[in-house]
Structures are given as structure tokens and as C-alpha cells.
Structure 1
Amino acid sequence: MPNRLRAAFYRGGTSKAVVFNGADLPEGRGARDRIFLHVLGSPDAYGRQLNGMGGGLSSLSKVVIVKPSDRDDADVDYTFVQIAVDESLADYGSACGNMASCVGPFAVDDGMIDLAPGQTDALVRIYDTNTNRIYHSRFPVEGGKAVEEGYVSIPGVSGTGAPIVLEFLAPGGAATGKLLPTGNAVDALTVEGLGTVRASLVDAANPVVYVRASDLGKTATEQPGDLDGDVDLMTRIEAVRRAGAIAMGMAATPDDVKRSNPKVAMLGPASRFRSLDGAGHDTATHDLNVRLVSMGNFHRAITLTGGMCTAVAAQVPGSLVQEIAGIDGKDLRVGTPSGVLTVTADVRIGADGPEALSAGTFRTQRRMMEGAVLYPSKLLEETS
């Protein structure tokens, strides 16, 4: 008979993940990772994860671990695991802002947070173990549980839900230790097959390599499927990503670059585009267009950490994002394949350059299923 492991299945923002209470998991990372791969259905040479709970895309192939925190400044710890679709890889090297939206509600619903009788609003302080950063999650509660139904809609998700307000504190240097890992707002990358490419290398919430879409023969208004199908473009994008990772000090050679980070984003000026739901978006609705690659595919919206990094980068003097967006204020409206996402950031310019004090936005979430996932006991054997 297979083993049973308590779990819940959540949508967080524009992603989905299997969510576990850390106390229920085996101690060894090897056994954990084998269970995660089995549950999601990876690796899958067909790219669909039909034999598991994954959805065949990076945004639908995720695991979240939540447990009470020992830190004075946090209530719970959050660990994100990106499960590769096509290989046996459980990657802990990046954060996930979309699934961050479900951590507070999960902690409340699983009894990790004490609520007062009649309390209608919860603030959960969360330590992100992937980035060694703190973020705050605020959301409505009723009867001791997180509220899911509400009026908020977000690009890429049908229907509405209760707002989850996320504020990431001091997001700069999440992976590299510096907001601008090279110290420059713009760098000239030497990229195989492309020559010199101007890029802004910014690390806030997650590191991102920003390039102008026009330098790659694109506009940043294209649909993700069309971009993914352009083999030459995907080869060039990956070369840019690897060159950016080396420049940021994240790897010594191209072969050492992790699949999860950095992300790479193509930028274009605000221009009319049609989102995946068929709606048209005029130039006045957004400040710039972004098409971001995550785990080898263009995201159907944008990673939330990528959105917040973009908001920070828009306030870095001289960056490509600032040049294109040209905003005057903390809020940035990002045109994505699924519509327009509004993100905000608080960046101060000091004697040592720009400093990101916070970045945030709002999301919705839904606990779609709870119960147990099944796995063979042999996965617990370290020799398997």
C-alpha cells in the first residue's frame, strides 16, 4: 500500500502548488525531493505531467513548505521548491511571489497562527528561506479561517477573490547580496551569437536580466506560445540569461548557471497588445510591456517576484526599465501576456546608490483541495 502524506492544493496568484506542513515531511532532503517529483509527475518527457499533479508549465509545477518559525521577526517559514517538468530536478534556488500569497492563509487554516475571537483581519509575518528575506501578508479572516471570496480580480485568473496584500521588506540582493550586482544600472554583455547586448542586471525579490525586446527582434507584445515556438529566439534568450548570470556573480561558467535563476525579461515601450483572454489593452493602460522567461518558457503572465523586481528597477536611475517606463512615483503598471499588473516599490537613492526598502502588490488565493497525496514507501530509502 502507498504511504499517505497530508497536503493541500492551492492556487496562489497565477500559479498552483502542492502545499505541505513542514512537520509532516521526512527529515532528509533526498526523500523529500523524490516525493515532490513523484507527486507532481516529473520528469515527463511529454511535458504534460499527466502522471502527477503538475500542469506541464513552470507556474503549475511547484511545491510550498510552511512551518512555524523560530525567528522573532516571523510567524512562519516559507520554502519554495520549483519542480522541473522534464527532468528530475527539485530547485530551491528561487523565490515564488505568486505562491507567497497562499502561505499566510495556509498557516491560519492549519492552526499555526492564533487569532482572537471575532478577528476579521490577519497579518502574518513570513520568513522566505529561499531568499533570507521577510515579507508581510495581510488578508481578511472570518470564523478563524482565511476568506477566499471577494471582489479582487488579477490578470490571468478567471473570477475574483479576497485581496492578499503582500509587502516584501528590503528585497534588494535576494540572491546576490546586492540590488545592482555589478554596481551598474546598465552593462554591456558579451553574448555568444549576438555580440554585445545592453542589459540591466537587477536583484530584487529575484534576480532578473533585462534587455530591450528590439535588440532581439521582438516588441514584447507577442503571445508566450509564439515566443516559445521561436527556437532561434529561445537559444539567444538563454545565451543572454547565462551571460547575465556570470556577470552577476551567480555562476563561473555558462554550464554552472541554474535553470531557476536569474530570470530574463524582454522590455518594450507601452503599446497596444491583446492579452490571452482576448481583451485589448491600449497604450494608456500601462507603462511598459514585459515578456519574462521562467524555467525555459515565457511566463503566461509574469512571476510576481519578477513584477516586483521590475517595479524596483523602474526607480533605478539609468536602468533600461526606467528609460522605457519613465514613471514618476512608486506604482508601475506592467503589460503582461495576461493583462496589466500593478506593482509598487519604495526605492531611496543614498550615498551608496539605490536601496530598495520594500516592494509589494496584491494577489488572490484559493485552497482548492485538502487531504493526502500518495507515494510509494521506497522513495523514503536514501539508496533509491
Structure 2
Amino acid sequence: MAHAAQIKIPATYMRGGTSKGVFFSLNDLPEAARVPGPARDALLLRVIGSPDPYGKHTDGMGGATSSTSKTVILSKSDSPDHDVDYLFGQVSIDKPFIDWSGNCGNLTAAVGAFAISNGLVAADRIPDNGVAVVRIWQANIEKTIVAHVPITDGRVQETGDFELDGVTFPAAEVVIDFMDPADGDGAMFPTGNPVDDLDVPGIGTIKATMINAGIPTVFVNAEDVGYTGAELQGDINEDARALAMFETLRAHGALRMGLIQSLEEAEQRQHTPKVAFVAGPRDYVASSGKKVAAGDVDLLVRALSMGKLHHAMMGTAAVAIGTAAAIPGTLVNLAAGGGERDAVRFGHPSGTLRVGGEAHQQDGEWVVTKASMSRSARVLMEGWVRVPGDAF
């Protein structure tokens, strides 16, 4: 019996922040995959190696975690206000679907570098030496992101001494500005409140901050769900009861935020919203063995992505943290000590991260104009990815 031969597609494997994924230029994809639909999803699923009932991604480019099961499609922007259009797909590990409902803030750090290196940014916008300002249109959430990419001798500078907790080796610093980060067309607080009472079966009624910023996120107090905020991955991911509880919490938060119309829809929307728990500062030991002192941070945050506790912090969730911290009265702001602030340093399982947020009130509602953080990015491999010709 004859089988279809493999085809090869130009691709780049990149790390951005604490994530990595497979990057494509839109025009390099097979014609059927250049538009949204089943063919595109099937192709990208095969590239990553999903769905994989073994949970290993042995037969694909994925890394069998939410941080490493990602795809990016980039194209030159038609808008005069943007250089590149950025579409992100979060690939499920064990199910045959890709969630296109949100952004990846970590991989955003790699978008500018890829765009410059692949001719998607006009040459007159790239200095011989200095910093290139790349204006990114984030197509999933329809928001502007500005990446400040270091340039040396006309090329992207990837190496450097900037250290990012959750990433093994230092690299060049890339500053990312998330402009007007409230996600989508809805209100920053979809319920109209910075804090709500959320009824969750198996937990009871607990306080929650539900915010659309960077990515829709449900924040709860760690103590209300039986934790301290200093947990590492194994404390949550090896506890099936805990994972089920957080998924129930996430589903009820999604329903309350209007992201789904029924609880059953949550299973098909795993990428958003995120769920995170916060606590005040305390000493703990990060996953690397690094000691984090209470005095090093303003608060502790632990967040789940695609059903598991993240090993560090999703970039988009960091935007949500910075945004919520800037608004008095949210659970994030209160965990950090309350009051007005334009930046916080929070502790996560791999260490610490600083994120800034600029907030003000407008017509009685809080508006955040920008959230900023530093990341790094690096090309890991470039060339072609191969998939069976009948995979899509």
C-alpha cells in the first residue's frame, strides 16, 4: 500500500521567555494552511506531535508541556501602524485541537527577532546598532505590542548577560510593552468589580478577581484554596484532586466572565482563562534551588496553564498580574500590600519577575495604558519541519 511522502516546510524553532515553539512565515505554509480552518489545525497538530495519548510528543516538535507545545504564524502587516501580524496557537497535548483564543506573552519576545531576521520589518526601521522598535499586531486578541529588539551590526543581538528566572542561560534583554492590555472588546473587569464572590462546587464561595488584561485570568487567594503561594510544580501537578479542583474553578470563572455560555464549553477552551492564586511575601526555595526571600518580592503568584501549574509564569499572565497590581483593591494589589503602585516583583516557582503597569481612572473606570516586562529570545534551530503529505 502506497503512503504519502513527507513534505518539508520552512520553520524556525525558537525560545521566547520561558516558552518555546515552532515559528512560520504565513507565505511559507502550504496554501491550504494559510487560512484558518481544519487544514491549518491538522498541519500544526502534526508538526507538534498531537494528539499524543502517551503525553511525550515523541513524534513531533512539541515538548509535552503547555510551555513547549506552541506554534506561531507571522506575516508582514498591511497596517501602516504595525510591522508584523502575530498569530499564536496553543496546541493541546492529548486532544486534537488548537486553542486560538489568546496570546503567548513569552513567545512575543521572539516575534520581533523572527520578523527582523525574516524580512518582515522594513529595512529603514532597523538601525545598524541600537534597538529596533517592532510594532506587533497580536491577531488573537487584536492588541498592539511593542518589542524593543537589540541590534548589532544590522543583525538581531541574541546573546547577552540578561538573566531570566526559568531560563537556564543568559541572553540579550528584550523589553516588551503591551499597549492597552485589556483583552478583547469587553471591559477590563467583565463583572464590573475588582473583586467578586465566586461560587465553586467543592470549594464554596471565595473571593476572586476576574480580569481581562494580557489574557483573561481568574485570581484567587492561596489560602482560600488550601495553599500558601510558595508551591512548586510537583505540589500541584502530582495531585489529581488539586488539578480537578483548579479546573472546576477555572470553568466557573470562565462562565462568570462571559467567556463561555455553559460549563461544558470550558473543555474546548483550555488556553483561556488562566487561573492563578496569590499570597503575600514569604521565604521559599525555587525549583532551581535558588532561595527567594520574602524581602525580594512584593507577593507570590502561582498560575496554571493548560491544566497544569506553570514552571515559571506565562508572559500574558504576568501582564494580568502587573495590571491587577496597579489597580487598588484587587486581590493581586492587596496581596502586594495595597495602595497605588506602578510595578511589582512577584515570586513564581522558578524565581522572581518584575512587571510594570500604568493605570488611571477614566469616567469612573480603571484603564491600564501599558504593561511592560523584560524577556529574552533565541533561535534554537532553523530549516524545515517535515510532516506526512496527507497529514492535513
* TM-score, scaled to structure 1: 0.96
Q: Distance in 1 between matches of 2:25 and 2:251?
A: 35
- Is 1:213 aligned with 2:217? no
Q: How does 1:1-384 map to 2 (within 5 A)?
A: 1-25=5-29, 26=31, 27-28=34-35, 29-116=37-124, 118-172=128-182, 174-175=183-184, 177-257=186-266, 258-326=269-337, 328-380=340-392
Q: Secondary structure at the match of 1:49?
A: coil
Look up the equivalent residue of 1:343 and give its one-letter code.
V
Distance in 2, matches of 1:278 and 1:193, equals 34
Please give the alpha-carbon distance, in whole angstroms, between the structure 2 residues aligned to 1:16 and 1:112: 20
Structure 2 distance, partners of 1:340, 1:144, is: 32
Q: Judge conservation of contact 1:307–1:334 (CA < 8 Å) in 2.
A: no
SS at match of 2:123: coil
Deviation at 1:176, TM superposition (A): 5.6
One-letter code of the match for 2:323? V
Q: C-alpha distance in 1, partners of 2:181/2:296? A: 27
Q: Deviations over 1:276-335 (max 9, x none)?
A: 110111000001111101000000001011011111101222111111102653111010
Q: Secondary structure at the match of 2:391?
A: helix
My pick for the range that moved more, 345-354 or 266-275, is 345-354
| Letter of the structure 1 residue corresponding to residue 211 of structure 2 | V
CA–CA separation in structure 2 for the residues paired with 1:217 and 1:273: 17
Q: 1:121-175, CA deviations, whole angstroms, 9 ceiling, x for partnerless residues?
A: 2111000001100010011112332110111110100121111110011001x14
Q: Which amino acid aligns with 2:117?
A: D
Distance 2:128 2:147 in 1: 19
SS in 2 for 1:378: coil
How far residue 253 of structure 1 moved from its aligned partner, in angstroms, is 1.1
Percent identity between the two aligned chains: 36
| 1:26-61: CA deviation from partner (whole Å, max 9, x where unpaired) | 334322211111111111111111111111100000
Gaps of 5+ in 1: none
CA distance in 1, matches of 2:358, 2:327: 11
Asked if structure 2 preserves the Cα contact closer than 8 Å seen for 1:12 and 1:102, the reply is: yes
1:178-231 superposed Cα distances (whole Å, 9 cap, x missing partner) = 111100011111111222111010110101100011011111101112211122
CA RMSD of superposed structures (Å) = 1.2
Answer whether contact 1:80 1:96 (CA < 8 A) is retained: yes
Contact 2:83 2:122 in 1 (8 A): no
For the residues of structure 2 that align with 1:330 and 1:48, how far apart are their CA atoms? 41
Q: How far does residue 353 in structure 1 lie from its aligned partner after superposition?
A: 1.5
Conserved 8 A contact 2:76-2:85: yes
Cα distance in 2, alignment partners of residues 323 and 205 from structure 1? 20
Amino acid at match of 2:171: G
* CA drift at 1:268: 1.1
- Asked whether the equivalents of residues 109 and 144 of structure 1 are also in contact (C-alpha less than 8 Å), the reply is no
Q: Do the aligned partners of 1:101 and 1:166 also contact (CA within 8 Å) in 2? A: yes
TM-score by length of 2: 0.94
Aligned residues: 379
Structure 1 residue 264 displacement after superposition: 0.2
Partners of 1:234 and 1:344 in 2: CA distance: 30
Q: Is the 8 A contact 1:176 1:203 kept in 2?
A: no
Q: Which range moves more in the overlay, 92-101 or 219-228?
A: 219-228
